[in-house]
Amino acid sequence: MKTLILSASPLAEASVTCRLATRLARSLFPDGEHRVVHLAEAGLPPCDGRLEVITEGENSTGYLPALRPVHDAMHWADVVIFASPVHNFTVSALLKNFIDLMVFESHRPSFMGKKALLVATAMGAGQEKLFSYLQEVVHSWGFCVVGRLGAATSMLEEPWYEAKLRAAISRLRTRVLPALAEPRPRVGLRDLIAFRVWRLVVEINRDNTPIDHAYWSERGWLDAEYYFDCRSAAPARWLAGLIAALVRYTIVHRRLRPVT
């Protein structure tokens, strides 16, 4: 098994989160090949905020040469471990910038069904919020998150906490290994809705972003329930379709309101 740890701490080699992710990778895949990419050392430019990356394609931007090695490393891996410290209850600024540079992946996802793990550390709290945001992002890139591990840095030296951490890693092992072998992962309501809303965005913006429309059309996603073959509950699929129809109605019939 080839794993890539995408380490998002500014502390690079000294990162506690990266150390935890490495421990998890070695525990899950003792015979695997492990690589680490520190975003702090990747030389990525700040996102310039221009929309051409979406409308004209990622090749139209100047930052692709810097991004390419990281993107390629993610494609090389069987499992990508996203490892971020909690900074003010969300991902580090390094990871947020990386996500912004990768916005084309949300429009034209290329990581279909690739497995991901999320690892976060915080002095105290914020791991859940970080996981919720990050999972939504990487799902929109086509990843399938098979496990998450969050730890409290302030407790890592405590023997009782270490025992709990060891138990959590061992529980993850029993869940993650079967999930990696599962050809048709289970997808929940939230992700089905997110897919249907993206699908709607692509359909509605056919004239503004024809490259998105062509990309989705070539892959058959404009008629699909999800990016890849998956198991999902029939009521969840129905509800996702209903919500997408309601969103379409508010857009087409000019019912969108300013957010207050």
Ligand X SMILES: Cc1cc2nc3c(=O)[nH]c(=O)nc-3n(C[C@H](O)[C@H](O)[C@H](O)COP(=O)(O)O)c2cc1C
Q: How far apart are CA 138 and CA 222, in angstroms?
A: 20
**Closer residue to ligand X in complex, CB, 81/86:** 86
Return the closest-CA partner of residue 110 out of 203, 246, 221. Answer: 221
198: tokens are 């993206």
CA distances from 87 to 21, 35, 72, 120, 126 (A): 17, 24, 27, 10, 8
Tokens 């857009």: give the residue. 251
- How crowded is residue 57: how many other Cβ atoms within 10 Å of its Cβ? 17
**Closer residue to ligand X in complex, CB, 75/164:** 164
The least CB distance from residue 59 to ligand X, in Å, is 33
Element containing residue 216 per DSSP (H, E): helix 210-218
The least CB distance from residue 159 to ligand X, in Å, is 19
Q: How far apart are CA 37 and CA 201, in angstroms?
A: 33
**Closer residue to ligand X in complex, CB, 12/64:** 12
3-state DSSP helix/strand/coil percent for the chain, to nearest 5? Answer: 55, 15, 30
**Closer residue to ligand X in complex, CB, 129/213:** 129
Q: How far apart are CA 222 and CA 202, in angstroms?
A: 8
The least CB distance from residue 22 to ligand X, in Å, is 11
The least CB distance from residue 155 to ligand X, in Å, is 11
Sign for the CA dihedral angle at 32, 38, 44, 47 comes to positive
The least CB distance from residue 203 to ligand X, in Å, is 38
Q: How far apart are CA 225 and CA 241, in angstroms?
A: 9
61: tokens are 């931007």
**Closer residue to ligand X in complex, CB, 61/127:** 127
**Closer residue to ligand X in complex, CB, 11/103:** 11
Residues that bind ligand X (CB under 6 A): 9, 11, 15-17, 85-89, 121-126, 153
The least CB distance from residue 9 to ligand X, in Å, is 3
**Closer residue to ligand X in complex, CB, 1/12:** 12
111: Cα separation from own chain's centroid: 10
The least CB distance from residue 258 to ligand X, in Å, is 30
